[in-house]
Amino acid sequence: MNVLRRLIETVDAGATCVLATVVQVHGSAPRRQGARMLLSAGGAQDGTVGGGEVEAEVLAAARAMLAGGPNARILEKPTNCGGTVTVMLEKFGPHRRLLIIGAGHVGAALAATGARAGYQVTVASSTVAERLRDLPGIEAIAGAEPGMLEGFEHPEVTQVVVATGDADADASWAVAALARPFAGVGVVGSRTKAAAIRHSAAAAGVPPDRVHTLRCPVGLDLGAVTPEEIAVSIVAELIRLDRTGEVPEGWRRASRA
């Protein structure tokens, strides 16, 4: 099967993969410029960049990228034939997704900011704010309950932010999200709310290491006050997590209690 077609199918299926392309050849080499190889996160390989030591090093680099390494890199490798091959590696994955629970002032501002930042945004709420209906790139689900998270597609690339404005509802949604393999769960709130949610999640059987991934208050400490500013602080945190995998503790949004 064509390697590029396989790449599209892999990403559409919600998986991550690395495409290796021979971009330059000097002297003798087993494959010429344009040769491609695809390695999926599940270990499936399509195509080849030449076999031998070149391919072994490319595969090792691709596996490191899939394990959380950079999104792109260039390898230059001498061949057994006496030449040199330059290979470009690029990581591809499904679109970053953001599921917002609640369509109040913060939820609506977050939806607009997240969409502009390139996230595929879904807003779930008992009622969907009218101002969200015509915004591009935003899917609205009205009348949603926490049980809908069971069937949400591609949770592993989806960040959940809970902002219903109701403490009990926030806790129900957050616990349900923590019980599923979402990329992350954040809640608009305080340290007191965070403690209550963690207690409820533990009582519901959510593993301790998962419970402690909860981010509450969600967002970076930018001194944000308005809904729009809070939305920026949350999206900034999500970008930091997506790009580096962590947020220094001192960067997190401060809580009054």
Q: Do residue 87 and residue 144 come from a single domain?
A: no
* 223 burial level (CB within 10 Å; 0-12, 13-18, 19+): exposed
Q: Do residue 140 and residue 108 come from a single domain?
A: yes
Q: Do residue 118 and residue 240 come from a single domain?
A: yes
Tokens found for residue 117: 């930042």
Domain containing residue 126:
97-251
Length of the chain: 257
pLDDT by residue for the chain (257 residues), tens digit each?
599 999 999 888 878 899 999 999 888 777 788 999 999 988 999 999 887 888 899 999 999 988 877 889 999 988 777 788 899 999 988 778 999 999 999 999 999 999 999 899 999 988 766 667 667 778 888 878 999 999 898 888 899 999 999 999 999 999 999 999 999 999 999 999 999 999 999 999 999 999 999 999 999 999 999 999 999 999 999 999 887 888 887 887 765 55
Q: Do residue 104 and residue 86 come from a single domain?
A: no
Count of the separate structural domains present in the chain:
2
Using the 3D structure, point to which of 69, 92, 115 is the last residue of a domain: 92
Q: Do residue 79 and residue 20 come from a single domain?
A: yes
Instruction: Check: CB of residue 28 under 8 Å from CB of residue 81.
Output: yes
**Could you give the CA distance from residue 199 to residue 20 in angstroms, rounded to a whole number?**
46
Q: Do residue 68 and residue 159 come from a single domain?
A: no
Q: Do residue 115 and residue 134 come from a single domain?
A: yes
257 part of a folded domain: no
65 part of a folded domain: yes
Q: What residue type is 64 in one-letter code? A: A
Using the 3D structure, point to which of 39, 58, 92 is the last residue of a domain: 92
Q: Do residue 148 and residue 54 come from a single domain?
A: no
Mutual angle of helices 167-178 and 191-203, in 10-degree steps: 50
Q: Do residue 12 and residue 123 come from a single domain?
A: no
pTM of the model: 0.73
Q: Do residue 127 and residue 201 come from a single domain?
A: yes
Tell me, what DSSP letter sits at residue 253? Answer: P
Q: Do residue 107 and residue 61 come from a single domain?
A: no
CATH number of the domain at 168, please. Answer: 3.40.50.720
Q: Do residue 192 and residue 169 come from a single domain?
A: yes
Using the 3D structure, point to which of 76, 92, 108 is the last residue of a domain: 92
